[in-house]
Homo-oligomer: A and B are copies of this chain.
Amino acid sequence: MSDARTRVRRLPERQVTDRATLNDLLDATVYCHVGVALDDGVHVLPMAHARDGDTLLVHGSTGSRLMRALAEGAGACVTVTEVTGIVVARSAFDSSMHYRSAVIYGTFHPIVEQGSAELGQGSPGAVAALDRLTETLIPGRSAEIRPPTARELAATMILAMPLTEWALKVGAKHPDDPAEERGQQVWAGWVPLTSRAGTPVPADEESAGLPVPASVQALVERVNARP
């Protein structure tokens, strides 16, 4: 089943199987789309994610119906997509996007502070996993702020899925129109798309009187350093 589900059938030449590219995509993005079937149908919700070695982490409210179903082991599909350009071919048919997309299948396990036997040796506790999620969103922030309170931990469900069954597709080709499409004075090419961070905006007077912290400065620089 594993092989069948992760074999890319459409445009198979775009399938990438090396783990380093998967890691790079997961580390370059901050949110994913999690799909699960509940009793009233399939639901797909965006969630912040983080990678911790061979594990994908997400978190949400302990009161969420979807999070509870995932914690109970419902089969899940997590998809992470990054679009980096619009491909403009000489035909609509060959016009497309530059993208990287990972589809990860599996089941999640809850992470609790005492560690979970199911997750094996060395699995992080809840506080370490939350730090990992915070560090993915805003690297360096954990050291600038107080640790989570017991009340916050009780309200937060942290889920981990092993990165074992996944398919990765990379569409990075420029338009390559067949010979018969050429010579018609029609332009083909692509438009690069990048994400850019603007000037940090303080939330209140107290923050306006403080320097922008190192974590936030680094976040802006990291986003804007991408090609």
Contact = CB atoms under 8 A, between A and B. Distances in A.
Interface of A: 1, 4-5, 9-10, 30-31, 33-37, 40-46, 48, 60-61, 63-65, 75-79, 81, 83, 86, 88-93, 95, 97, 99, 101, 103, 105, 130-131, 133-134, 137-138, 141-142, 144-146, 148-149, 152, 155-156, 174-177, 182-204, 206-207, 210-213, 215-216, 219-220, 223
Contacts of A1: 40
Q: Which of A43, A60, A199, A213 has the most CB of B within 10 A?
A: A43
22 contacts: A9-B63, A9-B64, A37-B37, A45-B101, A46-B79, A48-B97, A88-B138, A88-B141, A91-B146, A92-B134, A92-B145, A93-B148, A93-B155, A95-B141, A144-B186, A174-B201, A177-B203, A187-B213, A188-B206, A193-B223, A194-B198, A195-B195
A73 B193 CA distance: 34
When all copies of this chain in the complex are counted, the total is: 2
A91 B210 contact: no
A197 B193 contact: yes
Nearest to A48: B97
B185 A210 contact: yes
B202 A191 contact: no
Contact of A61 (B10, B78, B185, B196): B10
Contacts of A133: 92
B207 A187 contact: yes
Given A42-B35, A44-B35, A148-B92, A191 B187 contact: no
A212 B10 CA distance: 31
A93 B156 contact: yes
B90 A33 contact: no
Nearest to A227: B198
B40 A9 contact: no
Contacts of A44: 33-35, 44, 77-79, 103
